[in-house]
Amino acid sequence: MDRVRSKRTVASRRSRTPRRGKVWGGIDLGGTKIEAVVIDGHGKPIGHARHPTPTQGEPEDVVREMYGALEDAVQTAGLRLTRLGGVGVGAPGAVDANAGTLARVSNVGRGWTAPFPLAGSLSELTRGEVVLGNDVQVAVAAEYRLGAGRPYRSVLGVWWGTGVGGGLVLDGVPWRGRGAAGEIGHMVVKPGGARCGCGRRGCMEAYAGRGNLERDARKAEEKGEKTQLFELMRKKQRTRLTSSIWKKALEEEDALATKLIERAVHMLGVGIASAINLLDVEAVILGGGLGSRLGAKYAGLIHEAMSPHVFMTERQPPVLVAELGELSGAIGAALLVEPDVT
């Protein structure tokens, strides 16, 4: 992704003419839904479709559903699949971009551990190039290029959803370490603290991830604490506490939801401050299901929670809400195959 580096100068922006009619596909493979977009030469989504992620079946079944979502997105754009210049995929789990494989995925199909050749398998259906990337990293790259990160060279993306993912762009270049950088959700905010889904204790995600928040809400309700959270869930005919359920409960000043989200905000602030002290980035971008849904008010609260711990007191990076919303992942995925949009 070194090509990203040169895309920020005004000169290069002005001199570029988007290739007429050239479009690209992007798929964001999430734990609950598959978002597919078609973007034009400005990175603008001109087609969009959403399919539920299969909760059963083989990896091949997941690939077929991804293909179906892409077909629908292409159709809403009034185009044919053959028009796509390529397809990018942002995926959770362990992505090997060079090999085009995806390993260690849960909540997708029946889940799988061994590397599955996702890029090759999807490419057989699309009959074109397919490039794989990490879901959070591509979303952060999209925000850096086209969204809230535009004014900056170095940003930390914090994707607050079922888990808490992170993505870094340092001096214009996505930083991936040996492939696994950005695990901000597993920064330790309280040694020996709450159990995390990863099996460790005290991770930021143990306090802030929606999965762990739901676990704690259930425990509290079983112990007799009053909450509307599960009532709202039943009303909305959901089986999990979605981001919009949390939002609704907060708006209705549900005591348990407020308490749990306040603790999450506190721990997000602590972990983000630690990351800032280490990296001195210019801005923090808040995305993910909860981040996008709770929006500017909670970005402000996270900033307040982070602020007392930031070492460079006089130069606190802003905490900005992702601007591309729920499509940032799919748009960022499309940028994997065409990073030259202007």
Provide the binding-site residues for its own copies, judged by CB under 8 A. 154, 166, 168, 170, 175-184, 186-191, 198, 200, 202, 266-267, 270-271, 273-275, 277-282, 308-309, 311-312, 315
**In 10 A of CB 285, how many CB atoms?**
30
**Phi and psi (nearest 5°) for 113?**
-105, -50
- Find out whether 285 and 155 touch, Cβ atoms under 8 Å: yes
CB of 326 to its own copies, least distance (A): 25
Q: What's the half-sphere exposure (Cβ side, CA atoms, 13 Å) at 216?
A: 21
- Of 168 and 334, which CB lies nearer to its own copies in the complex structure? 168
CB of 206 to its own copies, least distance (A): 12
- Of 249 and 264, which CB lies nearer to its own copies in the complex structure? 264
CB of 194 to its own copies, least distance (A): 13
Pairing of strands 94-96, 45-52: unpaired
Distance CA 329, CA 342 (A): 18
- Of 59 and 317, which CB lies nearer to its own copies in the complex structure? 317
- Of 44 and 315, which CB lies nearer to its own copies in the complex structure? 315
Within 8 A by CB and 6+ apart from 170, the residues are 154, 279, 281
- Best CA proximity match to 274, nearest among 203, 322, 194, 212: 203
CB of 249 to its own copies, least distance (A): 25
CB of 69 to its own copies, least distance (A): 30
Distance CA 188, CA 175 (A): 20
- Of 97 and 188, which CB lies nearer to its own copies in the complex structure? 188
CB of 273 to its own copies, least distance (A): 6
